[in-house]
Amino acid sequence: MQKGKTFIISGPSGVGKSTVLKALLKKRSNLYFSISATTREPRPGEVDGVHYRYMDVDTFRERIANEEFLEYAEYVGNFYGTPKQYVDEAMEVGQDVILDIEIQGALQICDKRPGTPRIFIAPPSWAELERRLTERGTDSPEKVQKRLLRAKVEFQTAHTYDYFVINDTVETAVAELDAILTAEHCKPSDRMEIISGR
Ligand code: ADP
Ligand code: 5GP
């Protein structure tokens, strides 16, 4: 059995990453969404162990010390981190893994696991991003402004990613992500067993 691949998805808060990833997970059965640890409070409707593994700062720091994270970062006042164990277990059984992480975490993965494909998801416009963040109704106007500021900084790194997907409609964004994942499995390096066996 071939090992799965890990894919990094980054993009501004509110661009629609969770929405498009939910649809992508329905489309591709062999996909595992890495559930991050976070110190931020759950939003209404978010479930522990489904959206995030929620924990206090002391517990998070303990896990950093135990080297349990593949990467971690501070984002707008909270910690977020990717538990290493689940990612590796999923890849071992042949599943592709999606990491929905911000840019500092993406850089750490680039260092530790070079060649990990990175996909940036962008909004069709800044006005639309602000509308989505506001209409989601989960953040105070002050937090929306902080996230928008951070989004503009993050956008400046978009050109360093391997792929750039605009989430205009969910359907087109999902179709592009689906195509990218498929294409990444068509690299000769992924098919050396077949190539060298003929
Ligand atoms: P993120 O995970 O990037 O923070 P969400 O998936 O929570 O973003 O989406 C933010 C808001 O934008 C949600 O209310 C969601 O329903 C809406 N949304 C997501 N994608 C689209 C889209 N393509 N068109 C319009 N609204 C969208
Ligand atoms: P939110 O609070 O909107 O769910 O997420 C805020 C930001 O944290 C998003 O950009 C999201 O991609 C990022 N994020 C979520 N989980 C992780 C993680 O495990 N590591 C890092 N570095 N960023 C994460």
Please check whether residue 23 is in contact with residue 170, taking contact to mean a CB–CB distance below 8 angstroms.
Answer: yes
| Ligand 2 environment, Cβ below 6 A | 13, 36, 40, 71-73, 75, 80-82, 100-102, 104-105
What pLDDT digit, counting tens, does each position of 13-44 carry? Answer: 999 999 999 999 999 999 999 999 999 999 98
The confidence score (pLDDT) of residue 191 equals 86
| Chain mean position to CA 166 | 15
Question: What separation in Å is there between the alpha carbon of 57 and the centre of ligand 2?
Answer: 16
Question: What separation in Å is there between the alpha carbon of 100 and the centre of ligand 2?
Answer: 6
What pLDDT digit, counting tens, does each position of 164-184 carry? Answer: 999 999 999 999 999 999 999
User: What is the CATH code for 6-196?
Assistant: 3.40.50.300
Whole-number Å distance between alpha carbons of 66 and 81: 13
What pLDDT digit, counting tens, does each position of 106-157 carry? Answer: 999 999 999 999 999 999 999 999 999 999 888 899 999 999 999 999 999 9
- Least Cα distance to 181 among 195, 162, 154 occurs for 162
Angle between helices 17-27 and 170-184 (to 10 degrees): 60
Q: Is-above-0.85 flag for pTM? A: yes
